[in-house]
Amino acid sequence: MLKNLLYKLLKKSEKYTHTDMVYLAKSGSWLSLNQALSLLISFGLSIAYANLLDKETFGNYRYVLSAFGFISLLALPGVYTAITQSISRGFDGSLKTGFSKKLRWGLLASAFALLLAIYYFIKDNNILGTSFVIIAIFLPIIESYGIYVSLLQGKKLFKQHSIFNLITVAISTLALLITIYLNQNIYIILLVYFLSIAIPKIIFYNYSQKKYIANDLQDSEVDHFIKRINAFQIFSNATQYIDKILLFTILGASQLAIFTFAIAIPEHIKGFFRISATVSFPKFATKSVEEIRKHILKKILLLGALISLAIVAYILLAPYIFKFLFPQYIEAVLLTQVIAITAIYSITYPIGAFLTAHKKVKPLFIISSSSFILGLIAMIIFIPIYDIWGAVIGLAINRLINIITSFYYLYKV
């Protein structure tokens, strides 16, 4: 009875939201639960990092993970999006294409990681040299087997995606908590982290391939789309790592540790609202541009209101969170409050999903490249002058440009 009442209320609300609210509630509820539980688990891990690792060790650790993400850009990040789009249109055979491409290009990225390892060994930095050898071992495995997510998202299997992700996060977090409690050796921490990510991906890829592949149909357009979307994805994803790499290079590990704690929760807020793009993408792929454009602005305004509430709540709570849970990083309070404001750029996620679903590659490239380049220039100029605040300035410029160009192309294409 309650289920029927909820269904009727959701159907009635569609008249005002112009959104398939039943689909959103069904799909979005699992993704929201996934994001909320992941946030809580990560929050617990952050408390452990703050209390069990010194800033130098944690800064080195975060630099290695950022370098892993940055080097993985060589492994064609656009493959994930292209395969999701292809599978959403019924071409299940694209999964094998995506796996093969990610593996081949992942090996190339691995070779680059080994070159960096040699560089650090020559510089007598054995910590980073060994860390990059570990990156080289795991990168092709994690990149290729992670393609199962594209299969689940393309088929709108958000429940399965959420369950698999939560299992991975829980295993990784538990393994890391035990490790850093017993031993603060960065090599062991990195090995445990990558193993706890790689093994579940291998298992879930094999399971998903056997369970959810319905046909061997190949998409003749997928290779072309990968080539076109890849440049956009490289610039878009590089934004997540470049600030941390620059901070480590210019200011050192301790300053990166402070910045990492300042940006952590605002990034989770942003990630929570990325659900809007994940849920919308398969729907947008099957609708016309005119049909999407007719209602998308109202959805963006509603999303913006929700994001604003989350930002204000976090700004008010941040001093207490850091005082009681992260006292070693109390100097990051003002930083995290300012960074939280920039999370408003999450309103562009539905626009990105719309442009990607309809393969509007040129606008996507201009949006990502212009915001990345201008943000990077700002960081290079301002980090040496204003230290960590220089990275915040660059981040704010990046996100402002992203908002401006996204809304421009919403009605331009």
Q: Is residue 119 part of a domain?
A: yes
Please say whether the beta carbons of 50 and 326 come within 8 A.
yes
Q: Is residue 258 part of a domain?
A: yes
Q: Is residue 9 part of a domain?
A: no
Mean pLDDT value across residues 169-176:
95
Q: Which domain holds residue 319?
A: 18-412
Tally of domains within the chain: 1
Place of tokens 């620059």: 246
Pairwise CA distance, residues 137 & 72, whole Å: 12
Q: State the DSSP H helix or E strand holding residue 203, giving kind and residue range, or none if neither.
A: helix 186-212
Distance from the first to the final alpha carbon of the chain = 45
Amino acid at 350: P
Q: Is residue 6 part of a domain?
A: no
Place of tokens 């069990």: 52
CA angle 392, 365, 95 (to 5 degrees): 105
Pairwise CA distance, residues 73 & 193, whole Å: 20
Pairwise CA distance, residues 348 & 50, whole Å: 32
pTM, entire model: 0.87
Q: What mean pLDDT, rounded, does the chain reach? A: 90
pLDDT digits (tens, 9 = 90+) for 268-302: 888 888 877 767 777 787 788 888 888 888 889 99
Catalogue the E-assigned strands of 165-312: none
Q: Is residue 290 part of a domain?
A: yes
Tell me which long-range contacts 326-329 makes (C-beta under 8 A, separation of at least 24). 326/46, 326/47, 326/50, 326/261, 328/50, 328/51, 328/55, 329/50, 329/257, 329/258, 329/261, 329/262
Mean pLDDT value across residues 225-238:
89
Percent of the residues in the chain that have a pLDDT greater than 70, as a whole number: 92
Q: Is residue 13 part of a domain?
A: no
pLDDT digits (tens, 9 = 90+) for 356-403: 888 888 999 999 999 999 999 999 999 999 999 999 999 999 999 999
Q: Which residues contact 49 (CB under 8 A, 6 or more apart)?
A: 58, 180
Tell me the CA distances in angstroms from 385 to 372, 392, 396, one per residue in order: 20, 12, 16
Query: Model confidence at 26, in pLDDT bands (50, 70, 90)?
Result: low
